[in-house]
């Protein structure tokens, strides 16, 4: 399993980015992050933000490791998977957040985590991995045509 500095920073950086957004929005700007939970409401705090973003980063890292062993272009496949997952994750704050400010801050949290994951994992993915690449073969199919 390839553990590069960028990938470690992505797993650590995702919760750090989310926590930074929370610090600016809640303690500094005075926003209240309240979401509907069952019949009542719940305040979103730093512990749940760190836990959720760390979980997203670790799951993304594991998925990338699996893709690198199974597909030829793991970065591309990971990017394709990331778009609908991000869209689905945004349905939570857009549907359950109480108030416009909470919606905006929670969307910003999701986008910050996604940005760190994309930069740290997807862009760092090795494009030459996968079962179709045998040792000694060119990295790209058209590499032999170029000479």
- pTM of the full structure: 0.80
pLDDT in tens, 93-133: 999 999 999 999 999 999 999 999 988 888 877 544 445 44
State pLDDT tens for residues 17-53: 999 999 999 999 999 999 999 899 999 999 999 999 9
How many angstroms separate the CA atoms of 146 and 24, rounded? 51
- Mind spelling out the 3-state secondary structure of the chain? CCCCHHHHHHHHHHHHHHHHHHHHHHHHCCCCCEEEECCEEEECCHHHHHHHHHHHHHHHHHHHHHHHHHCCCHHHHHHHHHHHHHHHHHHHHHHHECCHHHHHHHHHHHHHHHHHHHHHHHCCCCCCCCCCCCCCCCCCCCHHHHC
């Amino acid at each position: 399993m390839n553990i590069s500095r960028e990938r470690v920073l992505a797993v650590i950086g995702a919760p750090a980015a989310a926590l930074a957004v929370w610090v600016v929005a809640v303690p500094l700007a005075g926003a209240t992050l309240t979401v509907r939970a069952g019949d009542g409401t719940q305040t979103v705090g730093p512990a749940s933000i760190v836990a959720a973003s760390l979980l997203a980063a670790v799951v993304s890292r594991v998925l990338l490791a699996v893709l690198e062993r199974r597909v030829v272009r793991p970065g591309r496949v990971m990017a394709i998977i990331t778009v609908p997952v991000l869209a689905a994750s945004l349905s939570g704050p857009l549907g359950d957040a109480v108030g416009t400010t909470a919606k905006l801050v929670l969307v910003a949290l999701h986008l910050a985590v996604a940005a760190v994951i994309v930069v740290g994992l997807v862009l760092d993915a090795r494009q030459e991995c996968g079962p179709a690449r045998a040792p000694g073969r060119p990295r790209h199919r058209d590499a032999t045509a170029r000479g």
